[in-house]
Amino acid sequence: MRDLYSVLGVKRDAGAEEIKAAWRTKAKSVHPDQNREDPNANQRFAEIGRAYEVLKDPKKRNLYDQQRSKVEALEREKTIMQQREAAREAAERAKVAKANAERIMAELAKAEAEKARTEKVAQATAQAAQAAAQAAQAAAQAAQQAKAGQTAGAAGAQTSAQGKAGPAGETPEDMVSRIFGDTPEAAAAAETLKRETEGKAEKTDKTEKGETPDAATAAAPKPTSIFAPVELISSLVRRIRGVQPPPEKAPELAIEVSVTIDDLLAQKSVPVTVADGRELRVPLEGGVSEGHVVRLKGQGHKLPNMARGDVAATIRVQKNDKFSVDGFDIRTVLPITLENAVLGCETQVETPSGPVDITIPAWSNSDQVIRLDDQGLHDDAGGRGALLVELRVKLWEKPDDKVTDLMRVMREGLFL
């Protein structure tokens, strides 16, 4: 309802004479006889009359002022509450954004650490390969010396020394420490290397005791002990590196997608542009309505050493002058005249797909809802929601004397 003072165009502290003069001026300017081509002239003239009826009576005016003050106070309080709620929501959004930023930074730091670890293992692998090549070269030299006819004692001593030590007289422990560094993994690798080397040496000694001290046969098993550290080092490298876990997924990208009711009915995909400038297509399959979230796999954030994240698209239905969405149902308002509300009628109602015939029952009230099944949005069960038609009883554009007299008789009774 409009402010009565604004209808007459006066201030709130205007006197009775000023209000009366304003009413006369307004009534003359908007009188239906002076504005025959204006279809709203009767309505404006009646509005000015109602405003004057209230403001010319001191009691009614005082009561109206009190009610108006209460309404304005409630509106101010509502505005303050809305501002507080908006501030709270903004603080919550900032808190969530900060948490997401901290999470992303932690994930980046973790990815960098994993990258450094991978580079370190790769370097260790390269050093192990170099050591294996050196051991192979030493084995080749030992074989040439044995072929040249060295004595069994000299060949055995040389082969044993080559089996237990690396280049420049290194022991197995020193070799693993030089390759992998002084780390717990290196210590464990050196211990394993020592046990397996000693086991092979003991087995070789037992074999030699059961054989004749022939120079050729004594020298034959020795080259095998040279290649054992090479195979062992390769095995230890594989143990230290282990199986690399799959990369972690980047955080989810949350966006909102504005769609129309026609888009939801057509079940087509709609385009949306994300922050990095990429254009994605969001499918609107059955079961999608206001507030639903559609996930796009592997189309979100792309961060180093992390699997690409997903996109969470929240559906927002655009406002429409004729229709609104309620779950999978579509709501609309159908104005009807007083005589059709009392007597009932057959008429048509507009739907997003075109006009549909509808039956108005007799004695229908305003706010009464007529349900038309299978005229709504597609749901997740393969069906469709309903079209909810809300009736609104309206009067004629111009007053009717017969209807006015009838209503007066019904309210006040018939006097003879």
Q: Which comes out higher in pLDDT, residue 390 or 239? A: 390
Q: Which comes out higher in pLDDT, residue 171 or 111? A: 111
- Quick one: pLDDT band at residue 24, thresholds 50, 70, 90? confident
**CA distances for 165 relative to 235, 239, 375, angstroms:** 18, 22, 86
Tens-place pLDDT, residues 66-109 = 888 888 888 888 888 788 888 888 888 888 888 888 888 888 88
Q: Indicate where the chain has its CATH 2.60.260.20 domain(s).
A: 251-318, 324-412
> Between 1.10.260.40, 2.60.40.60, 2.60.260.20, 3.40.50.2300, what CATH number should domain 251-318 receive?
2.60.260.20
Answer yes or no: is pLDDT of 55 > 50: yes
Please enumerate in sequence order all residues whose Cβ is within 8 A of that of 196, keeping only pairs 6 or more positions apart, or say none: 228, 232
Place of tokens 């908006």: 86
Considering the domain delimited by 324-412, tell me its CATH architecture. Sandwich (2.60)
CA–CA separation, 416 and 405 (whole Å): 15
Tens-place pLDDT, residues 139-162 = 777 767 666 655 544 444 444 444
pLDDT of residue 26: 82
Residue 131 neighbours by CB distance under 10 Å: 21
pLDDT of residue 197: 59
Residue 282, both tokens: 């969001």
Tens-place pLDDT, residues 201-256 = 565 555 555 554 444 444 444 444 444 555 555 555 555 555 556 778 888 889 99
Picking from 23, 47, 42, the residue whose alpha carbon sits closest to that of residue 31 is: 42
* Average pLDDT taken over every residue of the chain: 78
pLDDT of residue 416: 43
Query: Which of 51-55, 397-401, 406-410 tops mean pLDDT?
Result: 51-55
**CA distances for 40 relative to 32, 36, 169, 301, 359, angstroms:** 9, 10, 111, 57, 30
